[in-house]
Amino acid sequence: MSRFTEAPIGGAGIGLRTKHYQDVLSGQGAQLQEVIENRPPVAWFEVLTDNYLGTGGLPRHHLHQVRENYPLTFHGVGMSLGSTDPLDYGYLTRLKALIEDFEPAWVSDHLAWVSVGGRYLHDLIPFPYTREALDLFAQRIIEVQEFLGRRILVENPSTYLSFTNCEMSEWAFVKALVEQADCELLIDVNNIYVSAVNNGFDPLEYVRAIPAERVREIHLAGYEEMGQYLFDTHGYRVRPPVWELYRFVLDQLGPTPTLIEWDNDIPDFSVLLEEAAKAQAEIDRLEAAA
């Protein structure tokens, strides 16, 4: 029996950002204060687990206050699932304790690696989609799932390069991976679009190949035009072509919980609510048609 609200995850959620926790002390943490005091109508919040690895302190205290009123999902980058280093059980142990503490509906990480040789890049680095990588990646997910005692979701990242020695497409890799590792998926529609433009593939071909029954969640965010490429800034409203692709994805997958992410130049909370309402409207449209 959960100590918290047992409301299931559904509809449009918002990515909760902790960078303003400290500001709350001086009355400037607008977003957090908004969430804790005014309890805005948000279906659920997703938190960046890697910001709560500390043993205690204010971030966890604030997160407890949020958890009292909202369902949560966990999202991180620290598993480094594509790395050729050994799994970091120190990290996984801290993550497991955090899961026990906050009871998230699910836990996700990325189709990427962030560390090698004990050095952490804290950024999602792609790898060549080969059989070797597939076996390694699947094996690591199996070990993580065993350790955590639950399935995890894996998210497709934005990529800014592709490797010459790939043996398959990203979507073929993803399809094979979920079978081999028995994991679930978090589909980032913005990332599919950004990667497609940057690496010259057809985003619709990717979407058509997604194993719908494995998808638990969708991410949306705003990219930035850099001239020669698109960058996954998470600092803008969701762009029109991504909304368009999102509608296509929903038609493929059916109504799916969708999260708005915003990490840079975080706007007034009302802007996040507007973006979430737009996603909710698309989900509602689909449900009404069903």
Helix (H) or strand (E) holding 242: helix 240-253
For residue 92, give the nearest of 178, 100, 84 by alpha carbon.
100
Which segment (55-63, 210-218, 246-254, 274-282) binds another protein by CB under 8 A?
55-63
DSSP state of 22: H
Among residues 34, 88, 103, 224, which is the contact residue for another protein, using CB under 8 A? Answer: 88
**Contacts of another protein in 193-252 (CB under 8 A):** 198-200, 228-229, 231
Is the Cβ–Cβ distance between 248 and 200 less than 8 Å?
A: no
**Contacts of another protein in 138-197 (CB under 8 A):** 160-165
Among residues 1, 2, 119, 202, which is the contact residue for another protein, using CB under 8 A? Answer: 119
Which segment (29-37, 76-84, 100-108, 268-276) binds another protein by CB under 8 A?
76-84
Residue closer to another protein (CB basis): 77 or 273: 77
CB 182, min distance to another protein, A: 22
Angle at 76 between CA 277 and CA 220, to 5 degrees: 25
Among residues 11, 78, 203, 257, which is the contact residue for another protein, using CB under 8 A? Answer: 78
Among residues 41, 86, 117, 149, which is the contact residue for another protein, using CB under 8 A? Answer: 117
User: Distance (Å, rounded) from C-alpha 15 to C-alpha 259?
Assistant: 7
Indicate the residue type of 207: V
DSSP reduced 3-state for 115: strand
User: What mask of x and - would describe binding to another protein in positions 14 to 43, judged by CB under 8 A?
Assistant: -----x--x--xx-x---------------
Binding flag, residue 100, another protein (CB under 8 A): no
For residue 79, give the nearest of 154, 134, 166 by alpha carbon.
154
Binding flag, residue 91, another protein (CB under 8 A): yes
Binding flag, residue 265, another protein (CB under 8 A): no
Binding flag, residue 116, another protein (CB under 8 A): yes
Residue 267 exposed, middle or buried by CB count within 10 Å (0-12, 13-18, 19+): middle
Binding flag, residue 93, another protein (CB under 8 A): no
Is the Cβ–Cβ distance between 49 and 78 less than 8 Å?
A: yes
Residue where the block lists tokens 């071909």? 205
Residue 38 exposed, middle or buried by CB count within 10 Å (0-12, 13-18, 19+): exposed
- Binding residues (CB under 8 A) for another protein: these are 19, 22, 25-26, 28, 50-51, 53-59, 61, 77-78, 80, 83-84, 88, 91, 94, 113-123, 125, 127-128, 130, 132-133, 136, 160-165, 198-200, 228-229, 231
